[in-house]
Structure 1
Amino acid sequence: MLNLNTLHFGGDYNPEQWDKEVWKEDIELMQRASVNLVSLGIFSWAKLEPSDGNYDFDWLDEVVELLHQGGISIDMATATASPPAWLTLAHPEVLPVNFDGVRLSHGGRQQYCAASEAYRTKAAALVEQIAKRYAKHPAVKMWHVNNEYGCHAPYCYCENSRKAFVSWLQMRYASLDELNTAWGTDFWSQRYYNWEEIVVPKRTPDGTHPNPGQQLDFKRFSSDVTLELFKMERDIIKKYDSVNPVTTNFMSMKFTYAMDYFAWAKEVDFVSTDHYLAQHDPLNHIDLAQQADLTRGFAGGKQWLLMEHSSSAVNWQPRNYAKTPGQEKRNALSFVARGSQGALYFQWRQGQAGSERFHSALVPHAGEDTRVFREVSELGAILKSMPELSQYPTNRAEVAMVYDYEQFWVMMQANMPTEDLSYPNTVAQWYRAMWELGIQVDFVQASASKEELSQYKLVLMPMVHMLSEQEEENFISYAQQGGNLVVGYFSNISSRTGRVKLGGYGGKLVKDVIGVYVEEFYPLRPEQELELSNGLKARMWSELSRANGAEVLASFAGSDVDGSVAIAKRKLGSSTAWYQGTELTEKSQKKFFAEIVKKLEIHSEGGEGTEVIHRGPFRFEINHLKNKVKVSRS
């Protein structure tokens, strides 16, 4: 498990990009900055194995010893994130094929198909060599498998992937008849009579799209087949090291969707993640908080580790704005307050060459006599001064929000009622409203048990489009047994196979429990804004609906569905369930939630630019308006 006796500070270290004379200077600067952990060898495959089966560890041995002598611990990477040129030349089938059937080229990173046997064989051989060599070294404190799985080429549409997909389907479905029913293949003559007839859902003729159920299953398969790569490397490491924990860095960012991190979290010894700000967004600190809280959700509320973020500007956004003075300290401590066991960066020293040469680092191009190095050194000293913080998880919230990668996947499909639907944007808007009210939020899956849900006073369900019968019953039971629930529009529309539930949209949860009968969707036109009957403002979405036992709090006006239910609630004994049948504007969403949390007497601290988070006996106050951070004992 993750070391609970210290806070980690450091980042990715790439000594192979520098002459040896720089290495000793690096150690001295790391000591000055209070660095105590570096991730080593992440992209070193070509350097460690210059040709097939010819390994060279001399340079890495030297770096490992220098770090050990300098008191710097190592997060040892397996170097499998970018196959070397000799491998893709000898085995071009390693390279992934995209949605249009084009095989991608060597020269970037993650240029591999997760179903490629050639890649798996050579990656396994490399990991075997690294684990055997460094498993017992006292400087190695954890293991870093691959890097940011699924970030660049999460889906491969080659023949190897097709065969693997079919095998995955055969394990998921008892028969072809069951698959045909799940996918609804009688539409467009898509029925399959032989497993070999099944294709991967790549480009189809213009104006058409692959089967929705097939698309959904392919995304499930892609996450699973990639997870098998991680498990393969993890299990090799465990043969040689049964003590130190093994992880891989997730990508907790708003529009990162390819891997189901809730499923992945069950396979790592501890959750770690990378996060990079959209610096152009003046409220990016709220997105940071959301993704940190989401990562804590992956970790089941336990401590986790921020494996990468930036000291200043990144290099891959349209306009790469630098962080302002004091911003990085606020960013890093917000992560720590929300459960991270420290703050690590990409990368230690800013590169001179390569496509990330303008990405910020702890040591910038201008060297250590810089604002960035001074500020990160101050942060390192702060983290070093409070190691006891690491023993405490972030305190549980009173409010939970449902987040589910399969909802993300199904909402990405074409032919929805409007192309303006955005699962991540709706989740972010609901979260932002709570953040500005000073309400802490935990994240749970749509598959959360009744016991998990019962720990929260209020559960929010923004656009939870698919629910199984059991999942729906869990939320109904939660609401009927004292839990308070807010269900968003376009929720509980289909089963987990994507088949629409009949008899009124929203299923039993909306129609019978909350008591709103939804007949038809009426998406609003771009830029159209409605003022509801209670003064709140709505955009993008309206519905033809009527009360079916619910108390109507707001109805649509000035629309094609005047008088239909926009917002409703129903008392369920000691609890209340609300239905929000539209997308409210940001101000209206905040006002609607403010009324609910006041009624439920949910604890609020901070808000309006300031966040207050409790982690055990520690209280963090971070003022994003006045550039101040305060950490104290409660």
Structure 2
Amino acid sequence: MERSMKLDKITLGTCYYPEHWPEEMWEEDLQRMLASGIEVIRIAEFAWSKIEPREGEFTYEFFDRFLEKAEKAGMKVIFCTPSATPPAWLTNKYPEVLNANINGVLYRHGCRRHYNYNSPKYQELVKRIVEKSASHYASHPSIIGWQIDNELNCETSEFYSESDSAAFRVFLKKKYDTLDALNEAWGTVFWNQTYTDWEEIYVPRPTPSNSTNPHEVLDYVRFVSDSACRFAGMQSDILKKYVKPGDFITTNGLFGNLDNHRMTEESLDFITYDSYPNFAYCLDDYEPGEGKMRDRKWSRNLAEARAISPVFGIMEQQSGANGWNTRMEAPTPKPGQMTLWTMQSIGHGADYVSYFRWRTCTVGTEIYWHGILDYSGRDNRRLAEVKEIHKKVGALAPVTGTHYRAEVGIVKDYDNIWDAGLDRWHQRVDRESSKGLFAACQKTHTPFDFCYLDHMRAEDLFPYKVLFYPHATIVTQETADKLTAYVEQGGCLVLGCRTGYKQENGKCVMSKLPGLLQPLAGTDIPEYTFVSPAEGTVYADWDGVQIEAGIFNDLLEPLTDQAKVEARYISSYYAGTPALISNEKGKGRVYYFGGAFNEHTAQVFLEKLGAAQPYQDIIALPEGCELMVREAQDGSQYFFVLNYLEEAAEICLKESFLDLFEGKEVQGELELPPFGTKVFARKK
């Protein structure tokens, strides 16, 4: 099913909070937005009390007045359900709706997202406010769509209230049916954790040394995701009764412990992402030195959004300095960076970009989270840049509805993402390869997609020339079947160390590794080890090219006549042992590498497998530039070139392209200014 905003053009928007400003400012703000090229606003995600100021007392006049002005001005509106911030009257009267930390201490009123999904009372009150809001406002002609809540699982993705323990038991009863089955799946015989009554089970609680039962915690994360999905579904089901034909339902953000694919498939028309590349310059997170990815790292997050919705929206796009009074400090975007980050979003598939926010708030926690306008509201440099962005977006009409083009896929699934979050052994290799593969694809200008195997059919994988599935510790038979089908039809699959050693419940397998993938990989793993810090770096030789086999090493052995030793370790006590084995399967080939993929190692794989720089014959770029390609159904291609550096970049077009911003044919050497962007059209 195609999931998109179904816009007839790439559109700009902004987030607006009429409750923060005197009513006499509304009309002027709306007119200034429209004059700047902003055509859509998002409102009401934190405004429960404007509709229900006291329990059971509903008033609609405030947003009626605002929507009347929006309609008169010609502004389109995305209206939100306000469940992210329950009002004080609610949390004071019904403390059972509050979330708690792992020690059982309640999170109190004063911030946001202080509720839990599983409180029956909160579900009752949320259903009512959504029903009342939708039944009154959904027919308004200015409204084009609805946002559910705000950033589900943001602030915290862990829930430890009494309601959560009660709901966790229901979740587990449905999954396991009997305590005997649960005890077997969780391995509760270890450390005498056996349960004899469902009431003995709670969400994770404090233990000595902060140790946990990993099988319990994996199911707990699955439960958190299920809770969030059901909460979104509860609201979506109500909204669907009232939205006008053509209006959409979405939510924003991509946060942890949440199967965003399931939530979108069940409840949304598409996902929207909140993109803040300026986080790369936060004092606590800034990476000094040449070659660091910095704001370019947000392309990885945009690829995640694209994996859910091939064409998607940005609900919050960086437009000013960011920070709360309690945390986060980052500078104002430099001239050109707003444009850069907007084109970063569009290049990766966004057809809607909404800036956070129109005016910088003068009260509250986010007084340092700046929008387009500063406190005074005067015209400024960033507003002028928005106007220039609008002109450039106007030239991108042919790009609307096209899709990001990639022949390389990085395979993921939620069980392994969640397992990496709770298993330090898995986490280390997963983090190294995630960073390495992304950086290698970026710097070799090799577009890639994230491929969520648990939400894809085998045939969805067939278009990819190369798939990397770096460290699939948990492998099911369904996973093995999909990967086998991909390889047999001619695909090239690359696996990394620590593959296939766990079952779906997180238990380690007792079969020869890599478990269910051994027939596909044609590889045995008689021994394995962490790379000792005292030993230093371990290298392997691949036809004269040295690659690092970092973090962890599987010592390999070929199993079949089709299996070929491609590389051997050249250091440590296992020097000479196979480090990389390839295996023919049907029309394709599998490569099993016994280490993690740092940037250089990943780049060597891309080059040797013929996947790197697929457009090098027509366009040459320095490492500091990103290349994104969006493709139309007729085969026309649109090349987005972004310069993330503070100095000019030299690019070379080896054939004639149409420069969409300039409206003219270009070829040969071109200079891209600091933070400069270009979009080139190439007809089939």
TM range, smaller chain: over 0.9
Partner of 2:658: none
* 1:358 to partner: Cα distance: 1.0
Contact 2:520 2:585 in 1 (8 A): no
- Does 1:257 find its partner at 2:269? no
For 1:518 and 1:359, how far apart are their aligned partners in 2? 54
Partner of 1:237: 239
Contact 2:14 2:316 in 1 (8 A): yes
Where in structure 2 are the equivalents of 1:195-594 lying within 5 Å?
A: 195-204=198-207, 206-207=208-209, 209-252=211-254, 256-267=255-266, 268-277=268-277, 278-280=279-281, 281=287, 282-299=292-309, 301=310, 303-315=311-323, 318-390=328-400, 392-414=401-423, 416-417=424-425, 421=428, 423-447=430-454, 448-510=456-518, 513-525=521-533, 528-533=536-541, 534-549=545-560, 550-594=563-607
For 1:110 and 1:121, how far apart are their aligned partners in 2? 17
Contact 1:511 1:517 in 2 (8 A): no
Contact 2:520 2:583 in 1 (8 A): no
For 2:577 and 2:177, how far apart are their aligned partners in 1? 43
1:242-261 superposed Cα distances (whole Å, 9 cap, x missing partner): 52444343424xxx422111
Where in structure 2 are the equivalents of 1:112-261 lying within 5 Å?
A: 112-204=115-207, 206-207=208-209, 209-252=211-254, 256-261=255-260
For 1:306 and 1:30, how far apart are their aligned partners in 2? 17
Aligned-partner SS, 2:241: helix
Amino acid at match of 1:411: A
* 1:412 to partner: Cα distance: 1.8
* 1:359 to partner: Cα distance: 1.0
Contact 2:399 2:630 in 1 (8 A): no
Contact 2:313 2:351 in 1 (8 A): yes
Q: Are the structure 2 counterparts of residues 145 and 535 from structure 1 closer, same or farther at C-alpha, using a change threshold of 3 Å? A: same
* 1:522 to partner: Cα distance: 2.4
Aligned-partner SS, 2:679: strand
Q: Are the structure 2 counterparts of residues 189 and 208 from structure 1 closer, same or farther at C-alpha, using a change threshold of 3 Å? A: farther
| Between 534-543 and 138-147, the greater mean CA deviation after superposition | 534-543
Amino acid at match of 1:592: F
Partner of 2:640: 620
Partner of 1:28: 31
1:245-299 superposed Cα distances (whole Å, 9 cap, x missing partner): 44343424xxx42211121120211221212223235523432222212211112
Amino acid at match of 2:364: G
Q: Number of paired residues?
A: 624
For 2:375 and 2:631, how far apart are their aligned partners in 1? 36
Q: Are the structure 2 counterparts of residues 523 and 79 from structure 1 closer, same or farther at C-alpha, using a change threshold of 3 Å? A: same
| Between 493-502 and 508-517, the greater mean CA deviation after superposition | 508-517
* 1:216 to partner: Cα distance: 0.8
Amino acid at match of 1:147: N
Where in structure 2 are the equivalents of 1:80-95 lying within 5 Å?
A: 80-95=83-98
Where in structure 2 are the equivalents of 1:599-618 lying within 5 Å?
A: 602=614, 606=621, 608-610=623-625, 611-616=627-632, 617=636, 618=638
* 1:385 to partner: Cα distance: 4.3
Aligned-partner SS, 1:373: helix
1:447-470 superposed Cα distances (whole Å, 9 cap, x missing partner): 232211222121110222212112
Match among 27, 40, 51 for residue 54 of structure 2: 51
Amino acid at match of 1:570: N
| Between 191-200 and 324-333, the greater mean CA deviation after superposition | 191-200
Amino acid at match of 1:234: S
For 2:429 and 2:370, how far apart are their aligned partners in 1? 31
1:36-77 superposed Cα distances (whole Å, 9 cap, x missing partner): 111111111123222111223222111111111111100011
* 1:511 to partner: Cα distance: 6.4
Aligned-partner SS, 1:332: helix
Give the alignment's TM-score, normalised by structure 2. Answer: 0.86
For 1:597 and 1:367, how far apart are their aligned partners in 2? 53
Q: Are the structure 2 counterparts of residues 386 and 556 from structure 1 closer, same or farther at C-alpha, using a change threshold of 3 Å? A: closer
Contact 1:417 1:523 in 2 (8 A): no
Contact 1:542 1:556 in 2 (8 A): no
Contact 2:537 2:548 in 1 (8 A): yes
Contact 2:322 2:329 in 1 (8 A): no
Amino acid at match of 1:541: F
Q: Are the structure 2 counterparts of residues 602 and 578 from structure 1 closer, same or farther at C-alpha, using a change threshold of 3 Å? A: farther
* 1:381 to partner: Cα distance: 2.8
Amino acid at match of 2:274: D
* 1:200 to partner: Cα distance: 1.3
| Between 587-596 and 9-18, the greater mean CA deviation after superposition | 587-596
1:349-405 superposed Cα distances (whole Å, 9 cap, x missing partner): 111111111112122235343221111221123224444432x23144211111223
Contact 2:12 2:390 in 1 (8 A): yes
Identical-pair percentage: 27
* 1:23 to partner: Cα distance: 1.4
For 2:168 and 2:85, how far apart are their aligned partners in 1? 23
Q: Are the structure 2 counterparts of residues 385 and 417 from structure 1 closer, same or farther at C-alpha, using a change threshold of 3 Å? A: closer
| Between 601-610 and 175-184, the greater mean CA deviation after superposition | 601-610
Aligned-partner SS, 1:597: coil
Q: Are the structure 2 counterparts of residues 580 and 323 from structure 1 closer, same or farther at C-alpha, using a change threshold of 3 Å? A: farther
For 1:526 and 1:164, how far apart are their aligned partners in 2? 47
Q: CA RMSD in A?
A: 2.3
For 1:560 and 1:33, how far apart are their aligned partners in 2? 65
Aligned-partner SS, 2:280: coil
For 1:37 and 1:194, how far apart are their aligned partners in 2? 54
Contact 2:147 2:252 in 1 (8 A): no
Amino acid at match of 2:224: S
| Between 183-192 and 114-123, the greater mean CA deviation after superposition | 183-192
Contact 1:435 1:607 in 2 (8 A): no
Q: Are the structure 2 counterparts of residues 463 and 207 from structure 1 closer, same or farther at C-alpha, using a change threshold of 3 Å? A: same
* 1:147 to partner: Cα distance: 0.5
Contact 1:127 1:237 in 2 (8 A): yes
Q: Are the structure 2 counterparts of residues 580 and 245 from structure 1 closer, same or farther at C-alpha, using a change threshold of 3 Å? A: farther
Contact 2:528 2:554 in 1 (8 A): yes
Give the alignment's TM-score, normalised by structure 1. Answer: 0.93
> 5+ residue gaps in structure 1?
none
| Between 166-175 and 536-545, the greater mean CA deviation after superposition | 536-545
For 2:343 and 2:75, how far apart are their aligned partners in 1? 22
1:301-345 superposed Cα distances (whole Å, 9 cap, x missing partner): 3x1111112113221564413322211211111211221112112
Aligned-partner SS, 2:508: coil
1:172-213 superposed Cα distances (whole Å, 9 cap, x missing partner): 223322222221222122222322222212222x23522211
